[in-house]
Amino acid sequence: MNKLNLAGKWSLARVGEETICTMNVPGTVLSGLLDAKIIEDPFYRINEDRTREIFWNDYQMERSFEIEEGFCKEEQVELVCEGLDTLTDIYLNGTKVASTDNMHRTWKIPVKDILKTGENSIRIVFHSVLKYINDYVYEPGKEVKYIPSGCMKGNHLIRKAHSMFGWDWGPQTIDAGIFRPIYLEGYSHARIEDVHITQDHEQGVKVKTAVRIKEAEDQQSWIRVTISEEDGSGVQSQQIPAADGSAELEFEIPDPKLWWPNGYGSQPLYLVKTEILDQENGQVLEVSEKRIGLRTLTVSQEKDAWGKEFAFCVNGLKIFTRGGNYIPDDCLYTRISAQKQDYLLECCKRANFNCVRVWGGGYYPSDEFYDLCDRKGLIVWQDLMYACNVYDVTDEFAENCRIEAIENVKRLRHHACLGLWCGNNEIESAWDHWGDFQVETAYLRADYIKLFESVLPKAVKETDPDTFYWPSSPSSGGCFDKPDDDTRGDNHYWDVWHGQKPFTDYQKYYFRFCSEFGFQSFPCMKTVNSYTEENDRNIFSRVMESHQKNDAANGKMLYYLSENFQYPENLKQLVYVTQVLQGMAIKYGVDHWRRNRGRCMGALYWQINDNWPVASWSSIDFYGRWKALHYMAAKFYAPVAISVYLTEKSAAVYLENETNQVQNVKVSLRVKDMYCHVLEEITSEGKADAFSAADILDMEISGWKEKKHAVFLEAEAVLADGTVLTDVETLVPFKHLELEIPQFTTKVTEEEADYVIGITSSCFAPFVELDFEDADVIFEDNFFHITDTVEKTIRIKKTDIRSGSFTDACDMLNRLTIRSLRTSD
C-alpha cells in the first residue's frame, strides 16, 4: 500500500483573500493563528469574545504535494480525513471531491481520477458554522427553542462537539479545521474492511475474530490472525483462505489472564494481529493490530429489595464504580495530546478511580485515550455525542448520526475498558420534566424516540452486540419511563449545588448509581493569575465573571461558604475555601453511597477536568493542577475507606471495603479539643467483609452538646496491615468552631527519589494546604487535617515536580506555603 501523509505545512486564508499565515496540520484556525501570533491567547482575560467573532468568516486551508507515478497506478486511491471540523468542501486540483458535515466521522473519499503524477493541490474550505446556524431556516414546527446553558442557539444543527459553542463551564471559541490525521492511501490489493473481536467466557476463554475484507479483482487472499500476550508469549496463529471476503477464526486461550479494573487486579492485554496475504506469493498486503483484555463486562440490572440494581459486572463480580465525568481537555482539539491525556488519566488512577464517563457534549477521544484506559484499568462509560439538546431528526440527519455511531463503535468496541454505550446526556430526563423542554413540539419529542431508542441503539447493537446499551444518562431504561426514578437505572443529582440544598441532602437519596453530581470551586491562584491582570482579581470583575460560565455559581459558592466558613479575608483565601467546600460536598455524597454499597453501586462526580482555565466543577484544572477535591477523592475513593456518619445524637464509624479480603480493623473515635487533647475515646474491633461496608463503632455524642463549639471528632481505623485511615467531623459548622490560629513548624529533607516535608501544628488545623507559588507538584496528600501535635510527613516524589525546580531541601522549605482555615494570607 502507498500512503502519503498530508500533515505538515498548509496555508491558511479567509476564503477569497490573501494567505494569512502558514500553519501546521493537523491544525485548526485557532492553532494556526495562535502559532503565527496573529491572535492573542483566547483564554486570556476576555479574549474569548474576539475569538468567537472570527468564526463569522469562511476559512480555507491549502497545500500542494508531489505524487509519484506509482501512486497513480494503484487501482484505488482514497483521501482519508480522520477529523474535519466541520462544514467543509474539499477540492483536489481545483475539483470539488466532497463536502463534509460531521466532525465525529472519518471521511474516505475516492480521488484516483483526479490525482496526477507530479504536483497536486488540496484545498479545504471551512464554512462558517456561525453563519450556518444563524441563517438556518427552520421548517414550521421544528424550530428548537431550547439552548443549553452557556451554549449558542442552533448548536444542535451541526454534528460538531456541542461544547465548542460554549457550555456552563466552557467558552464559545468555536474553531474549525483539520484536527486529526489526513492522508492519501493508494492500493491495488484486498483491504481489511472490518475486524470484529468477540470473547466467549462460558468454558475457558475463546477469542473469535470475524474478519471482512474487500477483495481485489483477480487476487485470492488468505487471512491470518495471530494472538499473543503483549510480551510476545503464547503465540497462536491461524490462516485460512477468505471465502466471499470474510473469515471467522476462533482461539482457545490456555491459562487466560483476565483484565480487571483498577484496584481489582491487573490489566494484562493480548495482541490480535490480522493480516491479509496474497495467496500466490504469501506477501502481506495489510495488517491491523488491536489490543484486547480478556474479560466480561456488562451492567447488571437484577431485581432486588430496592427495585433494580445498576452495577458494572466484571468477570462476574459486581463492583462499586468510582470516578468522574470527562470533558474535552482543551478547546483547541489539536492540543489534546496523548501525553496530556496520559497525565489526566494517571491522575484519575492515582485518585483510585475505576471509571471515567466520556460525557456526550464533547467529542469521541482518540484511540490513545482508550489504550490508556485499558492499561490503567479505567472502565469507560461512553456517551454518544449528544447532550442537553433537541434534534430535528430528518432522514438525512438520522443517516449521518447512524454512520457516525457505526464508525465510532467499530473503532472502539474491542477495548477492554469499554463499559457501556449511552445514547446521550440528560435528554430523556429533559423531555420528561425539564420545564424548558415542555414548550417544544410533539413532533420533536417523537424525534427523540426515533433517534435514541431506534436509530442509534439499532446501529450500536448491530455493530457491537456484546456491549451494554443505555438510552440516556440518567434513565430507567427508556421510553420516558421515569428517567429519574431512584429505584432503578442511573441518576444525576444536582439538588446540592443547583438546588442549593445542604450537603446533608445527599444522605436522603439511595441512588442505584449516581452518574453525575457536582460542586464548583475556583481554580488556584496560579491559574487565576494566568487569565487575569492584577486589577481583574475580584470574582465579580468582568474578566473573572467571564471565566465563570454558570451565571448563578458565584452566588452559590458564597452561599455555601456562608453556611460553613467564616468570611475569607482575601481572594487567595476565598479560592482556597471554595476548593475545600467542593471536596467536602462530594465526599458527603460518596461516603453516603459507599456506606450503602449494594443499594448504590456507583458514583461518578461532575467533572474531572476543564477545557480552559475557569471556575468550574472540575477536580483538576486546565493546567493539570489538583484541586482539593482530587486529593480528597484519592481518600474517599480508596479501596478501603473510612467515614463518620453523624446524626443528632450519635456518630458512627464505617469502613467501606472494595477489596476481595475481609478487612479486620481496630477503630477509635476520639473527641478532641482545639489543642488536640483527647477528651473522650472509644475503641472497637470489627470487620468489613469483602465488597461490603460495615458500621464498626457508634458513639453517643449528645453529651458534648454544651462543648460542641470547642471540640472535633477524629475517627481512626487501623487495618491488619498497619494502614491507618482517618476522618474528621465537627459538631458545628467550621465557622462556629473555636479554632485557634495554628503555628506550623516545618522541615524538609531530601531522599534519593523524594522530598519529605515534616509539619507540626500547635493546634487542630483543618484542611491544611501545601503549595509553591512558583512550582507545580503533586503532593502525597494535601488539604489534610492535622489533629495532633505529632509531626505529619508528606512526600513529594521528584517525578511529581511538574514545573519549576528546587535546588535542595532548604530551597524547598523556603518556598513552601502553608494555608489552613485560620491562615489569613
Of 289 and 551, the one with the shorter C-beta distance to ligand BMA is 551
Q: Which residues pair with 228 in a beta bridge?
A: 271
Show Cβ contacts of residue 577 under 8 Å, excluding neighbours closer than 6 positions: 561, 565, 568, 821
Measured between alpha carbons, how far is 439 from 416 in angstroms, rounded to an integer?
42
Show Cβ contacts of residue 61 under 8 Å, excluding neighbours closer than 6 positions: 10, 11, 12, 23, 25, 27, 32, 123, 124, 126, 177, 178
Work out the number of other CB atoms within 10 angstroms of the CB of residue 797: 14
Of 256 and 323, the one with the shorter C-beta distance to ligand BMA is 323
CA distances from 360 to 104, 155, 306, 396, 423 (A): 12, 14, 29, 21, 8
**Of residues 123, 488, 492, 672, which one binds ligand BMA by CB under 6 A?**
492
Please state the closest distance from residue 550 (CB atom) to ligand BMA, in A.
6
Task: Say how many residues touch ligand BMA, by CB under 6 A.
Answer: 10
Q: Which residues pair with 4 in a beta bridge?
A: 184
**Of residues 169, 468, 503, 511, which one binds ligand BMA by CB under 6 A?**
169
Residue in 785, 665, 656, 792 with CA at minimum distance from that of residue 352: 656
Find the part of the chain contacting ligand BMA (CB under 6 A) among 18-26, 165-173, 787-795, 802-810: 165-173
**Of residues 82, 85, 101, 168, which one binds ligand BMA by CB under 6 A?**
168
Binding to ligand BMA by CB under 6 A, coded x per residue (else -) over 396-435, reads -----------------------------xx---------
8 A C-beta contact, residue 496 and residue 505: yes
**Of residues 251, 326, 468, 606, which one binds ligand BMA by CB under 6 A?**
606
Of 326 and 606, the one with the shorter C-beta distance to ligand BMA is 606
Find the part of the chain contacting ligand BMA (CB under 6 A) among 50-58, 162-170, 639-647, 808-816: 162-170
Measured between alpha carbons, how far is 213 from 192 in angstroms, rounded to an integer?
4
* Residue 219 φ/ψ region, left for φ over 0, alpha for ψ in the -120 to 50 degree band, beta for the rest: beta
Helix (H) or strand (E) holding 720: none
- Whole-number CA gyration radius for the chain: 28
Measured between alpha carbons, how far is 788 from 767 in angstroms, rounded to an integer?
14
Find the part of the chain contacting ligand BMA (CB under 6 A) among 62-70, 166-174, 801-809, 810-818: 166-174
Of 166 and 624, the one with the shorter C-beta distance to ligand BMA is 166
Helix (H) or strand (E) holding 785: strand 784-786
Binding to ligand BMA by CB under 6 A, coded x per residue (else -) over 500-519, reads ----------------x---
For 615, the 3-state DSSP assignment is strand
Find the part of the chain contacting ligand BMA (CB under 6 A) among 71-79, 167-175, 378-386, 664-672: 167-175
Of 514 and 777, the one with the shorter C-beta distance to ligand BMA is 514
DSSP 447-488: HHHHIIIIIHHHHHHHH-TTSEEESSBSBSSSTTS-TT-TTS
Of 334 and 521, the one with the shorter C-beta distance to ligand BMA is 521
Please state the closest distance from residue 357 (CB atom) to ligand BMA, in A.
10
Of 426 and 714, the one with the shorter C-beta distance to ligand BMA is 426
614 is a contact residue toward ligand BMA (CB under 6 A): no
Of 167 and 270, the one with the shorter C-beta distance to ligand BMA is 167
Work out the number of other CB atoms within 10 angstroms of the CB of residue 193: 13
Find the part of the chain contacting ligand BMA (CB under 6 A) among 85-93, 163-171, 503-511, 624-632: 163-171
Please state the closest distance from residue 179 (CB atom) to ligand BMA, in A.
22
Binding to ligand BMA by CB under 6 A, coded x per residue (else -) over 451-490, reads ----------------------------------------
Query: Which amino acid, one-letter code, is at 390?
Result: V
Name the residue with cell 487565576.
Answer: 528
Please state the closest distance from residue 405 (CB atom) to ligand BMA, in A.
20
Which residues bind to ligand BMA, rule: CB under 6 A? 167-169, 387-388, 425-426, 492, 516, 606
